[in-house]
Each structure stands twice: as structure tokens, then as C-alpha cells.
Amino acid sequence: MFEYNFHWRPVFKSLPDLLEASITTLQVASLAMLLGIVIGFILAVSRLRGNGSVYWIATAWVELARNTPALFQLFFFGFGLGALGIHFSPYAIVLAGLTFNTAGYLGENFRGGFEAIPPTQLRAARSLGMNSWQAYTRILIPQVIRIVYYPMTNQFVWVVLMSSLGMLVGYRELTGETQFFASKTYRIFEYFAVTAVIYYVMVKIILGLSKFCASRFFRY
Amino acid sequence: MISIDGLHKYFDNLHVLQGIDLEVQKGEVLSVIGASGSGKSTFLYCINGIEPVQQGSVLVDGIDVHAKTTDLNKLRQRLGMVFQQWNSFPHLTAIQNVALAPQIVKKMSKSEAIEVAARQLEHVGLGDKFNVFPNALSGGQQQRLAIARALAMDPQYMLFDEATSALDPELVGEVLDTMRILAEEGMTMICVTHEMGFARDVSDRVAYFHEGIVEEIGSPEQIFNEPQSEQTKKFLAKVR
Amino acid sequence: MEQSVTVFSSFSVQDLSFLGEAALRTLWISFLSITIGSVLGGFFGWALYEMKVWGAIFLNPILDVFRSVPLIVQLVLFYNFAPIVGLNLDAFESGLVVLTLYTSALVANVARGGIEAVGKPMRITSRSLGMSYLQDMRYVVFPIGARAIFPSWVGVALGVMKDSALVSVLGYVELVKASQVLITRTQEPLLIILVVGAFYFALSYPVSRYSAKLEKRWSQ
């Protein structure tokens, strides 16, 4: 037991690269989250108000995203579409996969958020002469944001963690970069241990920031 | 003046309003009483245009509420409405609750809207609650907030939909008092209510709704002391 | 059209049974880790609830690691860590250990929520009837709490089932890994990927729908 000699020096030497890769991770995760919020909102409204094909496309998106593995979704945008002659770069595969997945989960969250608001709120807003747009942007959406804020934070954490799948499609975000160095030096354990710490710290910072922002935004 | 002519309203196969004819003059206070399911609340929603109608018309100052060309958002500024559930906007402070609609619907400047809101909050006795969020207010205070919110739009008419029936008994009084003040100031009001005392003391006329029609209408003295219709007698015997 | 003809010529019955076996492996590792992880997680949840201080200082941060580090990193890390401490674990065993701990960390949070959901007044009532602590747990807290958390628990279980796809990085030939092998051999990525996606969907969708239905019925 414990005959293993730990070699941390190569890991520390490539620490700047790893930290740079974690910025890449945060970037791709943030972009996917942003797109996911916009699309998720559209999906939620389509399922609540839409009918016919709009409703079914939105529902299919949400259910596929939620009921298949994220890895499968990434492979679909990788190999799957490749078969149809559509070739994505590793970056685009990760971004498309994460966005598809996140939009689906957020779509369901947002729908729950809208349903949690009593319908009488909309009625009260309209009775004051607000038009539909004003009632949504001033009355309903601020309340939805409050309801889905923490689920959304958790979703962002999940996106950051999920972006590690980039390693499997050749994208060098944090995990991909770690894999690259680890296979070059054979110090797999050491590299992945440090990477695990970086993820842990990233997640803690995200959760802390989210709590801080909540205390500033939500006063009720 | 609000004039309702031959109004019919269906929910699918349910014939909720079966031909209502009514006129409410400027400055008048009309109380609408009746059992639940008699169509009282639906009647209010049809005046406000929240519910579409199938037959008949509602004219508010000569404007047909249900005509396709009518700008409902504009019309609703004339018709303040207070609901059974007070529906405070939980993400806004009391003063923001009141100032929002004047600002974005009437396009007042922010300071103007705040000024109007402050005045109306004082008016309903919430002068010390400007920066409080609704979850820190009692039900009675939230209902008064809802009244202030409707008044801030400077409406010609106020519609009350059972404004006190969701309140704890000890909070009913303060809301009724606020409504009484409005009536004394000459506001034109249609109040759907279960408060017979309020209907008797404050209204100029009382209408008794029964199964989608106006069964009987008249002065409070007439309705409460000498009801003509058998249905009205039965109803009053039950609530008394 | 031409493509779909070649699809069926190169995709044989043997390939289908290969996929079928892989699907069974996915089910097997998911079943084991969900079962053991839930029992463990239930225990952790109880510990977090009963031992507030110790739980907050020791248990929760450890469980947090499993929730804050990508599963793929956990898998690689543990797979390479086991030999260092003298454990000879194959891909299945390593995957099972990590998935089980991962499940238990997620279930712990859910379980604690369940105990909290039962509420103090209810428990005081049962204790005032002369029930012992264990009787209170067995006859009051467990039945009520289990019902309250059932939908969340189903969510965790389905998540683990989908996440088990990641054990493929260790070389365990579960469904996603098998599909990759087949894609390389048959060069029919789209068909194979759709078959795999359909399998996960057919498993996950009915369960999640059923659980959503139960949740609705119970909340009434």
C-alpha cells in the first residue's frame, strides 16, 4: 500500500493552463446558460399558450432534453448530425448540446414558475389597463424570476459540471485540458485531483455569488 | 353612465347571465346581492371586458365595451376594479404597487406617479406603509392597497367584486369604511357584496341577482323592508 | 433514401443483441447504485437532520464534493486512486462505487428535506401518544416523508440512470460505449444513436410522467 509516488510538480507547472481552461469552461457554460434561458422562456410560453405544432415542438424538446443522457445529446450533435453531412466543431458540439439540454430543463422550470403565480395576478394587472406585454414584463416575469432563481442557479452549476463532457468530444475546456496533460505525463490522479478542487471552488463561488445577488435583488 | 342592455353570457353550455338590463347613473352606488352562482361576479367582469359576452351590450359613457374597435386598455382606466383576492403585486412595495400603472399605462413621469400614489395611500389610510412589501401587510391593509391602486388611475367608476369576503371578520370593517368614504365623496360604484349592512346603509339602489337575471331592484328600504319577489324574500330570510 | 438502404445492410441482428446486452449492463449498474445509494443517502439525510452541528461540519462538505465535481472527473479520479491504496477494481466496480456515493449525496439532501417536511407538530403529537423515537420514525416520519420526497427521489434515480452513461469513460461497455463501438464498425452513427436515445427515452419518460402524475394527485 502507498507505494505510489505522488508527482505534483508537473500539475503545478500546468496550473496556469488549467486555470485558463476553467475560464473556457465558464465561458461556454455561461453562453449555453444565456441561450438556454432565452430558449427555455420561449419553450415555456409555447407550452402554456401555444397550440398545435408550436406546443408539440416545445414539448418534444423539453421531454427529449430531460429524458435522455446529456452525453447522448452531445453525441447526437457530434456523430449523429455528422451522418447527415452537418459537421460541428468540438466547441459547437458542446455549446449546442449544453444549450439543448439546459433550454429543456429551464423550459420546464419556467413553466412551473408561471403556473405558480395565481391567474388573478394577470387579471388584476389587466384591470388596471396594462396591455398584455406590460402585464408580462412588469408583473408576471419579475415574480417568475423570483420563483425560479434558485433552481436556475442550480441549473447553472449543472451546466458547468456538464461541460466536462467536452473531454469526450475533443473540446479542451477544463476537463478536456486536464485529460490532455494527464495523458501526456501519465499523472492522471494528480491532474484530476487538482481539477476536482478547481471545480469545487468554482461551484462554491457561483453559489456564493448567487446568494449575494439574491440578497440584493429580492427584498421581499 | 353605465348602461347594460339585454346582456347574455355563456360558459360553454352554462347560461350564466340570462338577459340583464341595468343603468347606473353618475354618482350612484349600486349594490349587487345574491347567492353564489347567481352571476354577480361574472356581471362585473363583463362590464370591465375581462369576460366576453355572447349577446347584448355594455356601454360605459357611450363606449361599447365589447365592440371590436374599443381599446379595452384605455377603457379600463375609467373602470377601477377591486377583487375578492386582493392581488397585491408581491415584488413591489406598497407605493410601487400603486404608482406602476399610472406610470406605464398613463405615461406619467415617475415623480408624478409617486405623488399620485402617495396621495391615494394616504386616502385609504396607509400613509405610513409606503415602503412596505405586501407580505408585511394584513389582508385588510392589502385590500385597501388594492383600492388605492385602482383609484390612482383616476377612474370614473369603481367595481368591487366581493371585496371583503376573503378577509378575516375583524378586518372587514376597515375595508368597508374605506368604501364608505369613497361613496360619500361621490364615486360611482357597483359593489357585489355579501355585506347586507353595507348594502343597506351605503347604496342608493340594491339589485338582487337570481339565476342570471335581476330578480328585483330598488332602494335599500324597498329591497330589505318590502321585497316583492318570493325569491328575494327567501334569500333575505336566509342571510339574515 | 440511399443512405437508409445501406443502414440496414450493415446493421445486423448480432449488433442489435450487442446493444441489448449493453442496455442490460446500463440497467444493472443503475439499479445497484440507485438501490445502495438510496439506502446510504437516506441514512446520511437522517444524520444531517439529527446531528445538525456534526453534519454541517463534516458530512455535508464531503457530500458536497460529489455534488460539485463533474461525475466524469469523479470517475477518472477514483479509478486511478483505487490502485494507489491497493484496491484492484475493474471499470464496473469503480463505476459502481462512484455512482453509489454520487447517488447517496443527492438522496441525502432529498431525504433531509423529507424529514423536515413532516414537521415538528406532527412529531410532537406522535411522541405525546407514547410512541418511542423509533416508532415515530417508522410509523409517522417515514410514511409521510417518503411520500413527500417520492417525486424528487424519482428525479434523482432517473438522473443517475442517465448519468451512468459516463461510466463508459472507464471502458465499461454500457449502452453509450456500445453504441460508439458499433458506430466505428458499421459507420451508421445516426441510426445507432437514435436507437440508443430511444432506449433511454422509453425508460425515463413513462417513469417521469407517472411520478409527475402522482405528485399532482398527492398535492391535492
Reported as a single tens digit per residue, the pLDDT across A158-213 is 999 999 999 999 999 999 999 999 988 888 999 999 999 999 999 999 999 999 99
For B1-54, write each residue's pLDDT tens digit.
999 999 999 998 899 999 999 999 999 999 999 998 889 999 999 999 989 999
SS3 C170: helix
Residue A24, pLDDT score: 95
First to last CA, chain A: 57
Rounded CA separation C23/A69 (Å): 13
Rounded CA separation C136/B191 (Å): 52
Which alpha helices (DSSP H) does chain A contain, by range? 9-13, 15-49, 52-67, 70-75, 81-82, 90-116, 119-127, 132-134, 141-162, 174-185, 188-217
Which class is A14-217 in CATH?
mainly alpha
Residue with cell 412595495: B93
Q: How confident is the model at residue A218 (pLDDT cuts 50, 70, 90)?
A: confident
Q: Could you tell me the pTM of the whole model?
A: 0.83
- C123 versus C204: the higher-pLDDT residue is C204
Q: Give A17→chain B minimum CA distance, Å.
A: 44
Q: Give C7→chain A minimum CA distance, Å.
A: 11
What are the distances in angstroms from CA B57 to CA B23, B61, B217?
Answer: 12, 13, 20
Q: Are C69 and A80 within 8 A, CB to CB?
A: no
SS3 A144: helix
What are the distances in angstroms from CA C135 to CA A43, A189, B74, C43, C142?
Answer: 47, 46, 64, 17, 10
Q: Are B105 and A129 within 8 A, CB to CB?
A: yes
Other chains touching C, judged by 3 or more CB pairs under 8 Å: A
For A72-125, write each residue's pLDDT tens digit.
999 899 888 877 888 889 999 999 999 999 999 999 999 999 999 998 999 999
Q: Are A220 and B79 within 8 A, CB to CB?
A: no
Nearest residue to C83 (alpha-carbon basis) of B30, A1, A144: A1
Rounded CA separation A59/A47 (Å): 7
List the B63-64 sheet strands across, edge first: B14-24, B2-11, B55-60, B63-64
CA angle C197, A179, A168 (to 5 degrees): 15
Residue C10, pLDDT score: 63
Rounded CA separation C42/B84 (Å): 44
Q: Which residues of C touch A1 (CB under 8 A)?
A: 85-86
Burial class (CB in 10 A: 0-12, 13-18, 19+), A53: exposed
Q: How confident is the model at residue C102 (pLDDT cuts 50, 70, 90)?
A: very high
B92-96, B234-238, C21-25, C215-219 — which is least confidently predicted?
A: C215-219
Q: Are A80 and C189 within 8 A, CB to CB?
A: yes
Q: Are A66 and C65 within 8 A, CB to CB?
A: no
- How many domains in chain C? 1
CA angle A169, A175, A176 (to 5 degrees): 40
The minimal CB distance from C70 to the residues A79, A80, A175 is found for A175
Residue B11 is placed in which grid cell?
360558459
Bridge partner residues of B207 (DSSP): B32, B217
Residue C52, pLDDT score: 81
Domain residue limits, chain A: 14-217
Q: Do chains B and C touch (3 or more CB pairs under 8 A)?
A: no
CB atoms within 10 A of CB C118: 19
pLDDT at C217 exceeding the cut of 90: no
Burial class (CB in 10 A: 0-12, 13-18, 19+), B15: middle
Q: Are A68 and C169 within 8 A, CB to CB?
A: no
Query: Domain containing C86: what range?
Result: 2-219
Nearest residue to A101 (alpha-carbon basis) of A57, A70, A63, A76: A70
Other chains touching B, judged by 3 or more CB pairs under 8 Å: A
The reply to whether C84 touches chain A by the CB within 8 Å rule is: yes
Rounded CA separation B216/B19 (Å): 14
Rounded CA separation A125/A13 (Å): 60
SS3 A100: helix
Residue C50, pLDDT score: 87
Rounded CA separation C6/B183 (Å): 83
The reply to whether A220 touches chain B by the CB within 8 Å rule is: yes
What are the distances in angstroms from CA A151 to CA A141, A144, B44, C67, C151?
Answer: 15, 11, 39, 15, 16
Burial class (CB in 10 A: 0-12, 13-18, 19+), C132: exposed
The predicted complex's ipTM stands at 0.90
Rounded CA separation C137/B231 (Å): 57
The minimal CB distance from C73 to the residues A75, A168, A199 is found for A199
Q: Which residues of B touch A118 (CB under 8 A)?
A: 85, 87
Which class is B27-37+72-239 in CATH?
alpha beta
Average model confidence (pLDDT) across chain C: 87
- A86 versus C9: the higher-pLDDT residue is A86
Rounded CA separation B23/B41 (Å): 17
Size of interface A-C (CB pairs under 8 A): 109
Residue C6, pLDDT score: 46
Rounded CA separation B203/B224 (Å): 12
Q: Give C118→chain A minimum CA distance, Å.
A: 22
Residue of A nearest to C74 (CA): A196
- Chain B positions contacting chain A at CB under 8 Å are 48, 50, 73-74, 76-77, 79-81, 83, 85, 87, 89-91, 100-101, 104-106, 133-135, 146, 149-150, 153
Q: Which residues of A touch B149 (CB under 8 A)?
A: 128
Q: Are A127 and B76 within 8 A, CB to CB?
A: yes
Task: Give Rg (Cα) of chain C.
Answer: 21
Burial C69-98 (b: 16+ CB within 10 A, else e): bbbbbbbbbbbbbbeeeeeebebbbbbbbb
CA angle A117, A122, A126 (to 5 degrees): 170
Interface test with A, best of C2, C29, C73, C98 (most A CBs within 10 A): C73
Nearest residue to C154 (alpha-carbon basis) of C110, C96, C197: C110
Q: How confident is the model at residue B89 (pLDDT cuts 50, 70, 90)?
A: very high
Q: Are A24 and A172 in contact (CB under 8 A)?
A: yes
DSSP state of C56: I
DSSP symbols for B85-140: S----TTS-HHHHHHHHHHHTS---HHHHHHHHHHHHHHTT-TT-TT--GGGS-HH
